[in-house]
């Protein structure tokens, strides 16, 4: 069995995937290679063959569709930033500019970030607030799943064996929607988030008409916060309406970066600041 495969079409990739059980999909490699390096320190080698998707032309691109937007599986952070998109994508773009450094943004894919399913994946909160859906293609064709259902836990997704995540589908955002993203880390560049928040808000006559908020790095997967959203809806965009109890669904942990209690507190502060900024 080859250690490395680089098909040119999605069909070929699906066939190879079916024929090569246990292979690992590869896009920009910014998660795959560091994980292998980490294992090798203690002579634990990841011997899974790599199925490199980067040669598949149909997975490239960020395009407008009748229903909204389609972000191909190979679209990376830098390409996202360079694509003209409605203001509702500003939060996603702000996240993109803070994922690693320029080298990582030039290589890392948005879909790879989601498939890697780190609790601290910076792409997840803004995409949750865009109501993104994952298009997963398997031997039987594509299926579509809301992002919240796709992200199942720390390093766990709903991707089935034999499937490839082929695109992110983003419904046309509400007209006039504005968006933002705030990330908190212990240094200025190249930092894994202690906590991050994203929001998409539409105001009408000084009142919040649509609002979606999400928090990352404060539970096994990033989460929308329905209670917080409800507290803001149909009211003036007043950060003081957001209360600790609206964040009760979060389950932050203590780790080397911060304490759980701090994360819970910081998430609320960041959300309040985001609302203030979007007001």
Ligand X SMILES: Cc1cc2nc3c(=O)[nH]c(=O)nc-3n(C[C@@H](O)[C@@H](O)[C@H](O)COP(=O)(O)OP(=O)(O)OC[C@H]3O[C@@H](n4cnc5c(N)ncnc54)[C@H](O)[C@@H]3O)c2cc1C
Which residues of the chain form contacts with ligand X (CB under 6 A)?
A: 24-32, 34, 53, 73, 99-100, 104, 107-109, 111-113, 115-116, 121-123, 159, 164-165, 190, 192
Which region, left, alpha or beta, applies to residue 117 given φ > 0 means left and ψ of -120 to 50 means alpha?
A: left
Q: Which is nearer to ligand X, 27 or 225 (CB)?
A: 27
- Report how far residue 47's alpha carbon sits from residue 58's, in angstroms, rounded to the nearest whole number: 28
- Report how far residue 5's alpha carbon sits from residue 158's, in angstroms, rounded to the nearest whole number: 24
Handedness of CA 38, 220, 151, 129 (dihedral sign): negative
- Report how far residue 47's alpha carbon sits from residue 36's, in angstroms, rounded to the nearest whole number: 9
Residue 196, helix vs strand vs coil: strand
26 phi/psi in degrees, rounded to 5: -130, 130
Site string for other proteins, 30-49 (x = CB under 8 A): x--xx--xx-xxxxxx----
Query: What's the token pair of residue 129?
Result: 């607030």
Q: Which residue has the tokens 């191909």?
A: 72
Contact 174, 89 (CB under 8 A): no
In the bound complex, what is the minimum distance in angstroms from residue 105's beta carbon to other proteins?
Answer: 9
User: Does 3 interact with other proteins (rule: CB under 8 A)?
Assistant: yes
Q: Which is nearer to ligand X, 104 or 253 (CB)?
A: 104
Residue numbers 85-104 binding other proteins by CB under 8 A: 97, 100-104
Q: Which is nearer to other proteins, 7 or 91 (CB)?
A: 7
In the bound complex, what is the minimum distance in angstroms from residue 21's beta carbon to other proteins?
Answer: 18
Nearest to 151 by CA among 126, 119, 182: 119
Binding piece for other proteins, criterion CB under 8 A, among 85-93, 202-210, 216-224, 266-274: 266-274
In the bound complex, what is the minimum distance in angstroms from residue 171's beta carbon to other proteins?
Answer: 31
Query: What's the token pair of residue 106?
Result: 């030039």
Q: Which does 106 bind (CB under 5 to 8 A by kind): ligand X, other proteins, none?
A: other proteins
Calculate the dihedral angle through the C-alpha atoms of 48, 51, 52, 53, rounding to the nearest 10 degrees.
-140
- Report how far residue 278's alpha carbon sits from residue 182's, in angstroms, rounded to the nearest whole number: 12
37 phi/psi in degrees, rounded to 5: -60, -45
Number of C-beta neighbours around residue 63 at 10 A:
12
Q: Which does 266 bind (CB under 5 to 8 A by kind): ligand X, other proteins, none?
A: other proteins
Site string for other proteins, 203-242 (x = CB under 8 A): ----------------------------------------
User: Does 16 interact with other proteins (rule: CB under 8 A)?
Assistant: no
Give the residue, chosen from 81, 191, 220, 227, that forms a contact with other proteins under the rule CB under 8 A: 191
Q: Which is nearer to ligand X, 32 or 242 (CB)?
A: 32
**Segments in 45-131 forming alpha helices (H):** 77-82, 90-96, 102-105, 110-116, 124-129
Binding piece for other proteins, criterion CB under 8 A, among 87-95, 206-214, 243-251, 261-269: 261-269
Q: Which does 159 bind (CB under 5 to 8 A by kind): other proteins, ligand X, none?
A: ligand X
Residue ranges that bind other proteins, judged by CB under 8 A = 3-4, 6, 26, 28-30, 33-34, 37-38, 40-45, 50, 52, 54, 78, 97, 100-104, 106-107, 184, 186-192, 194, 256-259, 261-262, 265-266, 269-270
């Amino acid at each position: 069995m080859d250690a490395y495969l680089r098909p040119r079409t999605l069909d070929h990739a699906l066939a190879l995937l079916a024929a090569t059980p246990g292979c690992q999909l590869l896009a920009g490699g910014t998660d795959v290679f560091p994980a292998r390096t980490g294992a090798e320190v203690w002579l634990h080698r990841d011997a899974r063959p790599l199925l490199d998707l980067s040669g598949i032309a149909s997975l490239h691109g960020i395009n407008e569709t009748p229903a909204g937007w389609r972000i191909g599986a190979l679209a990376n952070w830098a390409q996202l930033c360079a694509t003209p998109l409605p203001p509702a994508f500003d939060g996603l773009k702000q996240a993109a500019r803070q994922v690693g450094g320029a080298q990582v943004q030039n290589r890392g894919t948005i879909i790879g970030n989601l498939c890697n399913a780190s609790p601290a994946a910076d792409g997840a909160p803004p995409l949750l607030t865009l109501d993104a859906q994952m298009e997963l293609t398997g031997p039987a064709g594509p299926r579509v799943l809301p992002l919240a259902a796709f992200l199942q836990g720390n390093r766990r997704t709903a991707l089935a064996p034999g499937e490839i995540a082929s695109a992110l589908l983003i419904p046309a955002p509400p007209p006039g929607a504005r968006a933002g993203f705030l990330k908190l880390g212990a240094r200025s560049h190249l930092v894994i988030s202690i906590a991050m928040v994203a929001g998409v808000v539409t105001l009408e006559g000084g009142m919040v008409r649509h609002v979606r908020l999400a928090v990352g790095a404060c539970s096994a997967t990033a989460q929308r916060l329905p209670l917080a959203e409800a507290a803001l809806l149909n009211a003036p965009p007043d950060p003081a309406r957001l209360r600790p109890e609206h964040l009760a669904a979060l389950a932050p942990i203590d780790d080397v970066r911060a304490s759980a209690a701090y994360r819970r507190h910081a998430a609320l502060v960041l959300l309040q600041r985001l609302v203030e900024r979007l007001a």
